[in-house]
Amino acid sequence: MKVLGLTPNAITVLEKRYLKKDDQGKVIESPEGMFWRVARNVAEAERFYGSRTSPEELSDIFFRMMASLDFLPNSPCLMNAGRDLQQLAACFVLPLEDSLDSIFETVKQTALIHQSGGGTGFSFSHLRPKADTVQSTGGIASGPVSFMRVFNMATEVIKQGGTRRGANMGVLRIDHPDIMEFVTIKQKPDEMSNFNLSVGMTKAFMEALEKDHEYSLINPRTKREVRRLKAREVFEAIVSAAWQTGDPGVLFLDRINEANPTPELGEMESTNPCGEVPLLPHEPCVLGSINLSHMLKKRNGGWEADFEKVRRTVRDAVHFLDNVIDVNQYPLPQIAQMAKGNRKIGLGVMGLAHFFIRLGIPYNSPKALEVVRGLMSFIQYQARERSIELAEGRGAFPNYKGSIYDRAGAMRMRNATVTTIAPTGTLSLLANCSSGIEPLFAIQYTRRALEGMEFQITDPLFMELGEKEGFLSPEVMRLITEGASLQDISQVPEHIKELFVTSFEIPPVWHIKIQAAFQEYTDNAVSKTINFPRDASKEEVREAFLLAYRERCKGITIYRSGSKGGQVLACGTKQVC
């Protein structure tokens, strides 16, 4: 079977980042060869278990799943499987304790991970605040933000030679004494350019906010209150900074830890760079995504979800990702220990917007929420069933005792988590489908990528339906190229306008409701950007944060168009979306 459906853009990205090259930098591997390399490497894990399925048979299944673009694993797996590096995880959370030894050991670990194509998340909440005492020297501490600059610079240096932009998530608890400095840091140009920032919200803070009370700031070194702030003033500062720069997002730490599958191993304080995987220190994320735009079948002249294909793909993908844990070469022994102890995997989806369009369902509709819940609950159920089956032959994850599954009659799982919703930025470009669970960004837009690559993207489904229904005139294409909204183009039929609604045309409430619907049936978390048009108000951002909390999301990231220089996606020759 050959690889079908790769666009020129996909081939460009594969040649630039994924395919093997010789010493002169010449590409010496085809896309087909890449998928065989990955499939054979990951199938080798069968030899550890004396499986009835041979590695040869399994590699054929894995190859077909990837070459058809029905499923793709995270980028480091495609890049590194079957090669010398063999680092297949997308991201990691690293610990940071309150000592120079710990901090600079973590800087070193971060450099090794970024060099291998992984991203990193950290909680800076254990570091003593600025101007606190350093007893060993008699000096005063410089605070978490100053050490974040060290990590930012290290990332800048390492990413110059990488195949993937070094990315970090920096988290600080809302009750840390330096919280206001953290919240406002990105208002200075070029500060923390290699970091996404999130404030770790607590239940106590949210209750103080609701009652318009003050709350305590706690020195992490002494565990004592140092002063009190008005919750509303701090929240307004977070809203204002997010409106102005897109950072910080917020993480709801209590909600994240309610779903912690292994609470005896510690609390989760940070996530990976895009926020979809809350992790314990030294845990990696092993991710993959099913292409929903391929999970459809024609019936009676229309389209419907192909649940049998979803079931088959989910089961094979869980098997694939469980194998990845065994064949992975981890950058640190502590990471290998955590990975193999909890065996967390994160299977998600991409192509949701195209899936909806095929089914004739507007993204911002009650029907879309109903479909999401039905689809994701099915994926979650099938993923858990496959994990239980794998546990029968291979054993439950070693840290099962004391886990949330370790109860009478509970599931005996191979994997502590099975589902995650990742952003799939590059993967969706390879699969030529809409990104993650996002709505369409625009009908036509520019996508910027690493190493100065720029791609002009025109939505393939819009072109297909435009030709089929006969409204795709040169005039329509000219208007779209200039950045006009479909809603303002009279030649486009109303039902097409409803289906091809784009990110900034969808009220934030619908973005959040979609995220919350996925979160109901997802073990880890959901990566979703709540897009706001350029003229959105701070009041709208405030309401989005509060709604995300009410809807039981684990976190939220907002982005107001134009609030960052050099944004990854832009549309129209006459305007930015």
Query: Known catalytic residue: 577?
Result: no
Torsion of CA 396, 399, 401, 407, to 10 degrees: -60
Nearest by Cα to 72 from 351, 377, 438? 351
Which residue has tokens 């709208």? 540
HSE-up of residue 363 (Cα within 13 Å, Cβ side): 29
Distance between CA 206 and CA 305 in Å, rounded?
40
Query: Known catalytic residue: 274?
Result: yes
Nearest by Cα to 567 from 193, 276, 277? 193
Distance between CA 339 and CA 337 in Å, rounded?
6
The tokens describing 377, both together, are 């609950």
Catalytic residue, candidates 272, 342, 415, 524: 272
Q: Return the amino acid letter for 134.
A: V
Q: Return the amino acid letter for 184.
A: T
Nearest by Cα to 253 from 177, 202, 313? 202
Which backbone phi and psi does 240 adopt, to 5 degrees? -65, -45
Query: Known catalytic residue: 415?
Result: no
The answer to whether the beta carbons of residues 438 and 353 sit under 8 Å apart is yes
Catalytic residue, candidates 152, 196, 269, 276: 276
Torsion of CA 118, 428, 422, 337, to 10 degrees: -40
Rounded to 5 degrees, what angle do the CA atoms 313, 275, 291 make?
20
Please list the alpha-helical segments (H only) found in 116-220.
Answer: 144-159, 179-184, 203-211
Strands 168-173 and 195-201: parallel
Catalytic residue, candidates 91, 274, 553, 577: 274
- The SS3 assignment for 44 reads helix
Helix axes 352-359, 366-394, angle to 10 degrees: 120
Q: How many CB atoms lie within 10 A of CB 454?
A: 9
Distance between CA 573 and CA 71 in Å, rounded?
34
Distance between CA 277 and CA 129 in Å, rounded?
27
Entry field: residues in the chain:
577
- The SS3 assignment for 115 reads helix
| Bridge partners, residue 445, by sequence | 457
What does the DSSP assignment read for 419-470? B-B---HHHHHHHTS--TTPPBS-SEEEEE-GGG-EEEEE-HHHHHHHHHHT
Which residue has tokens 């930015």? 576
Active site residues: 272, 274, 276
